[in-house]
Amino acid sequence: MINKIGFVLIAGLAGSLATGQAALAGDAEAGAKTFRRCAACHSVEEGKRKVGPSLYGVYGRTAGALEGFRYSPAMKAYGGSGAVWGDETLDAFLANPKSVVPKTRMTAPPLKSADDRANVIAYLQSLGGE
């Protein structure tokens, strides 16, 4: 019995190593580096806006909903439709902002690598907020 449990544990561990758990779940530390591509326009300090809104607490927040930031009407409408920033919405938006919010004012180039996106999303999630 113990042997069987041991086997299952080892098999499970080997499986998660083989699939590269960090890449699947996103690596916040790596994401902090990827975030340099965003930092010209985004602060992660609460309430500090640049060209773009502060991304503190953006994970779990309704799109276009930070008080005091003047979003494009398109981003407001996206949020108004019920869109909340989570894994899927962020992934799609960062892969191609204009495919999700066609008239967004965010002119950043697409983040083409799925790993970069997963990492930066993990980083944003780690910042806390709501």
| Widest Cα–Cα separation across the chain | 62
Beta bridge partners of 49: 42
Give the count of alpha carbons within 13 A of 24, CB side only: 7
The nearer residue to ligand HEC, 7 or 34, going by C-beta atoms, is: 34
Q: Is 58 in the site for ligand HEC (CB under 6 A)?
A: yes
Query: To 5 degrees, how large is the angle CA 109–CA 28–CA 44?
Result: 65
Query: To 5 degrees, how large is the angle CA 86–CA 64–CA 128?
Result: 45
The nearer residue to ligand HEC, 3 or 81, going by C-beta atoms, is: 81
The nearer residue to ligand HEC, 26 or 53, going by C-beta atoms, is: 53
Q: Is 28 in the site for ligand HEC (CB under 6 A)?
A: no
The nearer residue to ligand HEC, 19 or 46, going by C-beta atoms, is: 46
Minimal distance, residue 64 CB to ligand HEC, in Å: 5
At 90, which amino acid appears? L
Both tokens of residue 36? 């340099």
Q: Is 71 in the site for ligand HEC (CB under 6 A)?
A: yes
Binding site for ligand HEC (CB under 6 A): 37-38, 40-42, 51-53, 55, 58, 63-64, 66, 71-72, 74-75, 85, 90, 94, 104-108, 111, 120
